[in-house]
Structure 1
Amino acid sequence: MKFITATDRYIFRRVMLPLLATLAIAASLLLLEKMLNLFDFVAAEGGPVSVVWRMLANLIPEYLSLGIPIGLLLGVLLAFRGLATSSELDIFRAVGMSYFRLLRVPFLLAIALAAVNFAIVGFLQPSARYLYEELRFELRSGAFGAKVRVGEFNNVGKNLTVRIDESKNNGNELSGMFVFAQSNNGQSIAVTAEKGRFLRTDDPDTILLRLQKGTLVHDAPNYTSPRVFSFTSHDVPIPLPQIENFRNRGGKDREYLITELVHIGGDAHKPASERNRAWANFHFRLVEVAMMLLLPFLALALAIPPKRSTSALGVFLSIVMVVTYHKINEYAESVGGMGVVDPFFALWVPFLLFAGLILWMYHVIAHVPGGQPIGALEVFASKAGKWLKHLFRFGRKSRLATLGMPTPQAEP
């Protein structure tokens, strides 16, 4: 007897299309929303556009860890909802296939995706998050040469001020230049120029500002009056400021690998607060991955609408349940990290309650004749829909009567 049958392959095809589509849409929407903020941030810091793509690339693992569970849930749910509304599910049941048997492929997918998600949240996401924070730090510190802003007086190096009216061709063509420099012995120069450009030198700690068609005013304590010069071309060496090194990885709990969290949590020499935060984040990652193994049960329980109904309430409710559980885990992580509750109980008790609810819903749909785990909600949604439809129709008749127009008659 084959382990994977034609029915399994058919269900696999039905699941994969909405799964991949949901994952792609969710990741794209999250990236697009973050992209706008990053463009604003990089533009405000004056950094190159290429940094935005590097920062977004480091956010992909985090968004995948959120999108994979949602994709799995909606993939299985929409596949079985399609089977139920087209009566194919009734045929499978009529030939003796149980719901648990039909969930064979979804469970295999859940196990595989849970392993992928564990690798992401346990090892890939912490490193990517650290690289993202490093890029933010380098932008703020001017490591990309991003501290010379157009139209502002910029302090570049020690005792050096530069202002640029206009920048073209990615900073290679500058116009409206003003430079003021002062040395420790009291000497100072003030330069205005029509054009300028920054050039590299052999010294990595120094860049050259080449000015064209301008005026230089040189003053010193022993000068009776400042000296004024006109020039066609003049070079001003600019020592680059020392850039502070970024902190080591692990400044935040989510930057630790999952193995490092275990080491920190078990180190008796660490402060209790640090151990609690490490264990809370460790259990948070585990319950988020373990929850994926319950999603096929949840998807099936919410996928099958009542007979002669095409209600999509289960789709909406599934997203609400998963998002709510995720928020509960985040709150439990913060409570466990503060030491109010033991991190193990803070994270695993909600998981067991959520698992019990899902298994009860699956039991009702699979083993109770005519059972519908959200039957009461379906009835309420149906009545609410009829009430809103009646209210809309009554309001329309009232508006037509006010305008003196004939109202439509109800069909017999």
Structure 2
Amino acid sequence: MFNFIPAIDRYIFRLVIVPMLGVFALAASLLVLDKMLRLLDFVAVEGGPVGVVFKMLATLMPEYASLAIPLGLLLGILLAFRKLATTSELDVFRAVGLSYGRLLRVPYLITAALMAVNIALVFFIQPVSRFTYERLEYDLRSGALGASVKVGEFNTIADRMALRIETSEDDGRELKGIFARVANDKGQVLSISAKSGSFLATTDDPDTIILRLTDGTIVQDTGQQDPRVLTFTRHDLPIDLPAIEEFRSRGEDEREYILPELLRMGWADDEPRSKRAASQASFNFRLVEVVMMALMPLLAVALGIPPKRSTSALGVFISIVMVVAYHKVNQYGEDVGALGMVDPLLALWVPFLLFASLILWMYYRVAFVPGGQAIGALENWFSKIAKRIGKLFRRRRRVVVGEEGED
């Protein structure tokens, strides 16, 4: 089906795509698992339903994807060229006249596709998903998601009812061991206990829910010496939900603006200076993060090819450090640009130009200088350190073996 594609391109595509997808999955899993633990703890403290955790995680996926895509792209290409170099296939390709530019044809096609995906994520999808996450968190704190009743504790509802539920089963659908103390409009106090119950929604009044109780007793304090005691098989107890303020509209944070809104807010003369600076900083931060992806294939080649007769993986480590460090520098540049301390163009594009110059120099050393190595000095230093550590371990092992022989 893809016979019209040259075999070398299909081969490089397979070498790149497998580790790239693996890095995507690994990075996303680590980020999701770390956040999931925090959200589970947060939802447990707030007493909310477990299902909201997965909704909140889903809203965070665009942000995680925008971080994992550049890293996965870099490591996918880097590991592919590292394999070509360590198996001497790269030397064969170079010997038959294939330049690095020709070998990077497929990686750059993949880069272009991922840049388009990342543009959609950071300029359109991520701002909306971030706002959705904030709204879910607000609903959880306010009780709009059913998080106001906590099992095993006394809960005050609408300042006229104290409710305690001993246990909850079937994800909150079946309640056991219910006790309620209610003050009615006449000033009388009702003490209600029931074996089980469940919450039911009402169609007439969305601000009221029904607590349907089964097999219980009502003790009514009428102010007389003997209270009135009633038993019931089923009793519906209306509960007034507390008033919940409507969540704010999207746009209080410049990170929630999509691309047209950023362009309008960042260069509008009628907007406050602080608002314009924050919008411009956010726009330039997102743009520079996407544009940097165009240099990831060159960085991958520069760091993925080890010296001759070497299998050092130092380039993999340095590539991760460089990408993460550059991302942190961009975040700092966005912060100082949003505060108006530095022009956002200078705060974000000057580091980009410096980093791009470094990458281009490293690629030039590998691609056009015979025997050139971008991190040759670091490779030599790393090799010497590794040899010294190996000698120390071997010396320690000989000492231990000698002591055992004396025994």
- Does the alignment reach a TM-score above 0.5? yes
Residue 178 of structure 2 corresponds to: 177
Structure 1 position 235, deviation (Å): 2.7
Residue 355 of structure 2 corresponds to: 354
Residue 231 of structure 1 corresponds to: 231
Structure 1 position 237, deviation (Å): 1.3
Structure 1 position 184, deviation (Å): 5.9
Aligned-partner SS, 2:98: coil
Residue 17 of structure 1 corresponds to: 18
- Give the counterpart letter for 1:98 in structure 2: S
Q: Is the 8 A contact 1:158 1:241 kept in 2?
A: no
Range that drifts further, 184-193 or 272-281: 184-193
**Aligned pair 1:392/2:388, yes or no?**
no
Residue 375 of structure 2 corresponds to: 374
Residue 166 of structure 2 corresponds to: 165
Aligned-partner Cα distance in 1 for 2:404–2:394: 16
- Give the counterpart letter for 1:212 in structure 2: T
Residue 330 of structure 1 corresponds to: 331
Aligned-partner Cα distance in 1 for 2:406–2:33: 48
Structure 1 position 403, deviation (Å): 4.6
Following TM superposition, the consecutive aligned residue runs of length 4 or more in structure 1 with deviations greater than 6 angstroms are: none
Residue 83 of structure 2 corresponds to: 82
Aligned-partner Cα distance in 1 for 2:301–2:276: 39
Aligned-partner SS, 1:311: coil
Q: Is the 8 A contact 1:206 1:239 kept in 2?
A: yes
Aligned-partner Cα distance in 2 for 1:44–1:332: 36
Range that drifts further, 393-402 or 230-239: 393-402
Residue 209 of structure 2 corresponds to: 207
Q: Is the 8 A contact 1:215 1:228 kept in 2?
A: no
Range that drifts further, 141-150 or 182-191: 182-191
Residue 241 of structure 1 corresponds to: 242
Q: Is the 8 A contact 1:159 1:182 kept in 2?
A: yes
Q: Is the 8 A contact 2:300 2:319 kept in 1?
A: yes
- Give the counterpart letter for 1:229 in structure 2: V
- Give the counterpart letter for 1:347 in structure 2: L
**Aligned pair 1:292/2:293, yes or no?**
yes
- Change in Cα spacing, 1:105 to 1:271, as seen in structure 2 (3 Å) is same
Aligned-partner Cα distance in 2 for 1:202–1:286: 48
- Superposed CA offset, 1:250-278 (max 9, x none): 22221111221111111222221121111
Structure 1 position 34, deviation (Å): 1.6
**Aligned pair 1:306/2:337, yes or no?**
no
Structure 1 position 185, deviation (Å): 5.4
Identity of aligned residues (%): 58
- Give the counterpart letter for 2:154 in structure 1: F
Aligned-partner Cα distance in 2 for 1:226–1:332: 74
Structure 1 position 240, deviation (Å): 1.7
Q: How does 1:103-114 map to 2 (within 5 A)?
A: 103-114=104-115
Q: Is the 8 A contact 2:66 2:118 kept in 1?
A: yes
- Change in Cα spacing, 1:12 to 1:171, as seen in structure 2 (3 Å) is closer
- Superposed CA offset, 1:18-70 (max 9, x none): 11121122112211222222222222222222222222211111111111101
Q: Is the 8 A contact 2:254 2:282 kept in 1?
A: yes
Q: Is the 8 A contact 1:217 1:226 kept in 2?
A: no
Residue 218 of structure 2 corresponds to: 216
Q: Is the 8 A contact 1:212 1:231 kept in 2?
A: no
Aligned-partner Cα distance in 2 for 1:395–1:184: 85
Aligned-partner SS, 1:193: strand
Aligned-partner Cα distance in 2 for 1:321–1:185: 71
Q: Is the 8 A contact 2:197 2:213 kept in 1?
A: yes
Aligned-partner Cα distance in 1 for 2:170–2:367: 66
Range that drifts further, 37-46 or 126-135: 37-46
Q: Is the 8 A contact 2:73 2:296 kept in 1?
A: yes
Aligned-partner Cα distance in 1 for 2:212–2:8: 73
Aligned-partner Cα distance in 2 for 1:268–1:110: 37
Q: Is the 8 A contact 1:163 1:177 kept in 2?
A: yes
- Give the counterpart letter for 2:360 in structure 1: L
Query: What RMSD, in angstroms, separates the aligned Cα atoms of the two structures?
Result: 2.0
Aligned-partner Cα distance in 2 for 1:405–1:89: 52
- Superposed CA offset, 1:68-124 (max 9, x none): 101110111111111111111111111122112211111122122111101110001
Q: Is the 8 A contact 2:184 2:190 kept in 1?
A: no
**Aligned pair 1:197/2:203, yes or no?**
no
- Change in Cα spacing, 1:225 to 1:267, as seen in structure 2 (3 Å) is farther
Aligned-partner Cα distance in 1 for 2:73–2:367: 20
- Superposed CA offset, 1:259-317 (max 9, x none): 21111111222221121111111100001000000001100001111000011111111
- Change in Cα spacing, 1:256 to 1:403, as seen in structure 2 (3 Å) is same
Structure 1, gaps ≥5 residues long: 407-412
Aligned-partner Cα distance in 2 for 1:189–1:113: 64
Q: TM-score, normalised by structure 2?
A: 0.94
